[in-house]
Amino acid sequence: MSLIAKTPEPPYYAVVFTSIRTEDNDGYEQMANNMAELAAKQSGFLGVESAREGVGITVSYWSDLESIKSWKANVEHQEAQRLGRERWYSSFKTRVSKVERDYGI
Protein backbone atom coordinates (compact mmCIF):
# COMPACT_ATOMS: atom_id res chain seq x y z
CA MET A 1 0.00 0.00 0.00
CA SER A 2 1.32 3.42 -0.97
CA LEU A 3 1.65 6.07 1.74
CA ILE A 4 0.08 8.60 -0.63
CA ALA A 5 -3.27 7.59 -2.12
CA LYS A 6 -3.50 7.37 -5.89
CA THR A 7 -6.65 9.37 -6.55
CA PRO A 8 -8.39 10.03 -9.88
CA GLU A 9 -8.78 13.36 -11.60
CA PRO A 10 -10.94 15.71 -9.48
CA PRO A 11 -13.59 16.29 -8.49
CA TYR A 12 -13.87 13.77 -5.67
CA TYR A 13 -14.33 14.04 -1.90
CA ALA A 14 -12.05 13.89 1.12
CA VAL A 15 -13.13 12.97 4.65
CA VAL A 16 -10.60 14.39 7.12
CA PHE A 17 -10.66 12.74 10.56
CA THR A 18 -8.49 14.53 13.13
CA SER A 19 -8.15 12.99 16.59
CA ILE A 20 -6.45 13.02 19.96
CA ARG A 21 -6.12 9.56 21.50
CA THR A 22 -6.73 8.49 25.09
CA GLU A 23 -4.38 6.14 26.96
CA ASP A 24 -6.70 3.18 26.22
CA ASN A 25 -5.16 1.08 23.45
CA ASP A 26 -7.15 -2.10 24.11
CA GLY A 27 -8.46 -3.29 20.75
CA TYR A 28 -7.63 -0.04 18.94
CA GLU A 29 -5.03 -1.31 16.46
CA GLN A 30 -7.14 -4.32 15.45
CA MET A 31 -10.21 -2.13 14.96
CA ALA A 32 -8.24 0.42 12.93
CA ASN A 33 -6.92 -2.36 10.67
CA ASN A 34 -10.41 -3.83 10.31
CA MET A 35 -11.87 -0.44 9.38
CA ALA A 36 -9.16 0.18 6.77
CA GLU A 37 -9.87 -3.19 5.16
CA LEU A 38 -13.63 -2.68 5.32
CA ALA A 39 -13.49 0.86 3.90
CA ALA A 40 -11.40 -0.37 0.96
CA LYS A 41 -14.27 -2.72 0.02
CA GLN A 42 -16.91 0.04 0.04
CA SER A 43 -18.37 1.38 -3.18
CA GLY A 44 -16.84 4.75 -4.02
CA PHE A 45 -13.71 4.33 -1.86
CA LEU A 46 -10.64 5.78 -3.59
CA GLY A 47 -7.86 5.59 -0.98
CA VAL A 48 -6.63 6.66 2.44
CA GLU A 49 -3.68 8.46 4.02
CA SER A 50 -2.92 8.55 7.74
CA ALA A 51 -0.35 9.99 10.15
CA ARG A 52 -0.06 10.26 13.92
CA GLU A 53 2.42 12.32 15.89
CA GLY A 54 0.51 13.60 18.89
CA VAL A 55 -2.52 14.45 16.78
CA GLY A 56 -3.82 11.84 14.33
CA ILE A 57 -4.99 12.76 10.87
CA THR A 58 -6.63 10.28 8.54
CA VAL A 59 -7.90 11.38 5.15
CA SER A 60 -10.09 9.00 3.18
CA TYR A 61 -11.02 9.76 -0.42
CA TRP A 62 -14.40 9.01 -1.96
CA SER A 63 -15.97 9.34 -5.40
CA ASP A 64 -19.21 10.96 -4.17
CA LEU A 65 -21.21 12.05 -1.14
CA GLU A 66 -23.51 9.01 -1.28
CA SER A 67 -20.51 6.71 -0.79
CA ILE A 68 -19.48 8.72 2.27
CA LYS A 69 -23.00 8.49 3.71
CA SER A 70 -23.06 4.73 3.12
CA TRP A 71 -19.70 4.33 4.88
CA LYS A 72 -20.89 6.41 7.85
CA ALA A 73 -24.00 4.20 8.09
CA ASN A 74 -22.08 0.88 7.87
CA VAL A 75 -22.95 -1.14 11.00
CA GLU A 76 -19.37 -2.24 11.72
CA HIS A 77 -18.14 1.32 11.21
CA GLN A 78 -20.83 2.60 13.58
CA GLU A 79 -19.54 0.20 16.26
CA ALA A 80 -16.00 1.52 15.73
CA GLN A 81 -17.34 5.08 16.01
CA ARG A 82 -19.09 4.22 19.29
CA LEU A 83 -15.95 2.66 20.78
CA GLY A 84 -13.90 5.63 19.58
CA ARG A 85 -16.20 8.07 21.37
CA GLU A 86 -16.31 5.95 24.53
CA ARG A 87 -12.71 4.71 24.79
CA TRP A 88 -10.10 5.68 22.23
CA TYR A 89 -10.46 9.41 21.54
CA SER A 90 -10.42 12.30 23.99
CA SER A 91 -11.45 14.56 21.10
CA PHE A 92 -11.97 14.34 17.37
CA LYS A 93 -13.34 16.24 14.40
CA THR A 94 -14.57 14.99 11.03
CA ARG A 95 -14.65 17.26 8.00
CA VAL A 96 -15.96 16.50 4.51
CA SER A 97 -14.49 18.45 1.61
CA LYS A 98 -14.78 18.47 -2.15
CA VAL A 99 -11.41 18.18 -3.90
CA GLU A 100 -11.43 20.41 -6.95
CA ARG A 101 -7.70 20.36 -7.75
CA ASP A 102 -4.74 18.16 -6.93
CA TYR A 103 -1.16 18.13 -8.12
CA GLY A 104 2.20 16.75 -7.08
CA ILE A 105 5.08 14.55 -8.13
How would you write the pLDDT of the chain (105 residues) with one tens digit per residue? 578 999 999 999 999 999 999 999 999 999 999 999 999 999 999 999 999 998 999 999 999 999 999 999 999 999 999 999 999 999 999 999 999 999 998
The contacts found for 54-58 with CB under 8 angstroms, 24 or more apart, are 54/20, 55/18, 55/19, 55/20, 56/17, 56/18, 56/19, 56/20, 56/21, 57/16, 57/17, 57/18, 57/19, 58/16, 58/17, 58/19
pTM over 0.85: yes
- Domain 12-99 adopts which CATH fold? Alpha-Beta Plaits (3.30.70)
